[in-house]
Structure 1
Amino acid sequence: MFNFFKKRNKITDISWLGIDMHSHILPGIDDGSPDIATSLRFVKSLAALGFNHSIATPHIYKELYPNNFESISTARQSLQSAIDDAAISFKLESAAEYMVDQDFNLDSKLCSLQDKFLLIEMSYLNESPNIVQQIFNVEIKGYKPILAHPERYIFYFKDQSKLKLFKEKGCLFQLNLLSIVGYYGKEVKQLAEYLLKEKMYDLAGTDLHHDKHLGTLQNAVESGKLHELIGSYPFKNKELFV
Structure 2
Amino acid sequence: MMDALLRLGIDQFYATPHVFKRLYPNDQASIAQAFQELQPSLQGHGVRLACAAEYMVDADFEALLVSAGNPLICLPGSHVLIEMSYLEESLRIEQNIHRLHELGYTPILAHPERYVFYQQSPERIKRFKDLGCLLQLNILSLYGYYGQREQKVAEYLLNKGMIDLVGTDVRQQRHVSALAHYVKKEDVSGYFKHSPLQNEALFSIA
Q: TM-score, normalised by structure 2?
A: 0.91
Closer, same or farther: CA 94–156 of 1 in aligned 2, 3 Å: same
Answer yes or no: is 1:103 the counterpart of 2:60.
Answer: yes
**Distance in 1 separating the partners of 2:87 and 2:109:** 15
Q: 2:12 aligns with which of 53, 74, 81?
A: 53
**Distance in 2 separating the partners of 1:77 and 1:90:** 14
1:58 positional shift: 0.4
Answer yes or no: is 1:195 the counterpart of 2:154.
Answer: no
Answer yes or no: is 1:173 the counterpart of 2:135.
Answer: yes
Greater RCO structure (CA 8 Å; 6+ sep)? 1
Alignment of 1:97-176 (within 5 A): 97-104=54-61, 105-106=64-65, 107=67, 108-176=70-138
1:48 positional shift: 1.0
**Distance in 2 separating the partners of 1:170 and 1:228:** 26
Secondary structure of the structure 2 residue equivalent to 1:147: strand
1:228 positional shift: 5.1
**Distance in 2 separating the partners of 1:209 and 1:232:** 29
Fraction of identical pairs, as percent: 45
Consecutive unaligned residues of structure 2, counting only runs of 5 or more, are: none
Q: Match of 2:203, as an amino acid?
A: F
The CA deviation string for residues 162-195 of structure 1, in whole angstroms up to 9 with x for no partner, is 3111101110000000000101111111111110
Answer yes or no: is 1:94 the counterpart of 2:94.
Answer: no
Give the aligned partner of residue 63 of structure 1: 22
**Distance in 2 separating the partners of 1:233 and 1:155:** 23
**Distance in 2 separating the partners of 1:231 and 1:88:** 32
The CA deviation string for residues 80-117 of structure 1, in whole angstroms up to 9 with x for no partner, is 22101xx1111100000000011102353311002520
Secondary structure of the structure 2 residue equivalent to 1:103: helix
**Distance in 2 separating the partners of 1:128 and 1:162:** 14
**Distance in 2 separating the partners of 1:227 and 1:165:** 26
Aligned residues: 199
Closer, same or farther: CA 228–222 of 1 in aligned 2, 3 Å: farther
1:45 positional shift: 1.0
Secondary structure of the structure 1 residue equivalent to 2:107: strand
Consecutive unaligned residues of structure 1, counting only runs of 5 or more, are: 1-41
**Distance in 2 separating the partners of 1:123 and 1:180:** 20
Question: What's the RMSD between the two structures over aligned residues?
Answer: 1.6
Give the aligned partner of residue 15 of structure 1: none
Closer, same or farther: CA 171–233 of 1 in aligned 2, 3 Å: closer
Q: Match of 1:54, as an amino acid?
A: F
1:141 positional shift: 1.2
